[in-house]
Amino acid sequence: MNKPESPQGDKSAGARTAAQPRYQQVADALRARIATGSFGPDGQLPTESALCERYGVSRFTVREALRRLQTEGLIRRRRGSGTTVDTGSTAQRLPISNIGGLMDYAAGSSFQFQVIGAATMGAVQAADLGLEADSRWVHLAGKRRQQPHGPAIALTDVYINADLARHVGGLQQGNQSLFTQLAEAGGFRIARIDQDLRAMAAGSREAVALGIPRRAPVLRIVRIYRDTDDRVVEASVSIHPGDRFTYSMQIDQG
């Protein structure tokens, strides 16, 4: 019927971006098809062997692609019965349980910030964030909104490793996450993000900035971004009003 859509290697070309692995290309293609609803009302995906033919790759590659989509909560797989689009439950919510999800979250909202300046982290604050005392950072502060002129869903303090200070000036306001921009500018990759979530009462600063009563319940999310060498690239503290933000995630298998 149709010849295999080879996910072209793209070894040549001026594309400075390294050619992505094939399973990533297949996953992207399937993610796009899921988004456009091309799998019909029942959401049944082709079988693995059918996808192998379609994209001209081995079953290993197809399974690796499907595994990604599964951890993103996009699909559901059952032995014997096949793979289906996961429309139920949390499909319309935003799973921030992988780095791609975090980027989507950033892409779906807008972050306006300003540079506060150089900062040295005191012992108390460092311990609170789980970082080394007396380490040096560039401090940014800003708000995140879902609609351009809507209410802020978060007040965020960002601390960027002082070694990356020269890249701070090039950071764009808007829809791209800071860590993505930093990784591109600095030529490294974010390998892991640690998150701590807890509830607390809004202080006066947060209350004023977010337009909520003092001592209102807020969700505090501390994120530590590490590169492949385990160096802390960025740390951030986000304060979300309790009534404007819900954190959704999925947990799979055993």
Partner DNA sequence: GCGGCTGATTTGTCCGGACATATTGCGGAG
Partner DNA sequence: CTCCGCAATATGTCCGGACAAATCAGCCGC
Among 5, 32, 59, 208, binds DNA (CB under 7 A): 59
How far apart are CB 45 and DNA at their closest, in Å?
6
**Residue 112 vs residues 70, 203, 221, 225: alpha-carbon distances, Å:** 32, 21, 18, 20
Report what 102 binds from DNA, a copy of itself, none; CB cut-off 5-8 Å by kind. a copy of itself
How far apart are CB 68 and DNA at their closest, in Å?
10
Query: What is the token pair recorded at 133?
Result: 């005392």
Residue 216 in contact with residue 240, Cβ under 8 Å? Answer: no
Q: DSSP states of 141-177 as a string?
A: EEEEESSTTS-EEEEEEEEEEGGGHHHHTTPPPBSS-
Angle at 138 between CA 122 and CA 152, to 5 degrees: 100
Query: Of 47 and 89, which CB lies nearer to DNA in the complex structure?
Result: 47
- Does 76 sit near a copy of itself (CB under 8 A)? yes
Residue 98 makes CB contacts below 8 A (sequence gap 6+) with 71, 72
Query: Of 100 and 186, which CB lies nearer to a copy of itself in the complex structure?
Result: 100
How far apart are CB 167 and DNA at their closest, in Å?
19
Pick out residues in 96-155 that bind a copy of itself (CB under 8 A): 96-100, 102, 130
- Does 85 sit near DNA (CB under 7 A)? no
Give 114's strand partners.
Answer: 141
Q: How far apart (Å, rounded) are the C-alpha atoms in residues 171 and 113?
A: 10
- Does 42 sit near a copy of itself (CB under 8 A)? no
- Does 253 sit near a copy of itself (CB under 8 A)? yes
Number of residues that bind DNA (CB under 7 A): 28
> Alpha-carbon torsion 103, 107, 108, 111, what sign?
positive
How far apart are CB 202 and a copy of itself at their closest, in Å?
8
**H or E element: which one contains 254?**
none
How far apart are CB 59 and DNA at their closest, in Å?
6
- Does 219 sit near a copy of itself (CB under 8 A)? yes
**Residue 63 vs residues 4, 28, 67, 240: alpha-carbon distances, Å:** 17, 13, 6, 37
**Where does this chain bind a copy of itself (CB under 8 A)?**
76, 78, 88-90, 93, 96-100, 102, 130, 189-201, 215-220, 224, 226, 228, 230, 240-243, 245-254
**Where does this chain bind DNA (CB under 7 A)?**
18-19, 21-24, 45, 47-49, 56-61, 63-64, 66, 77-83, 228-229
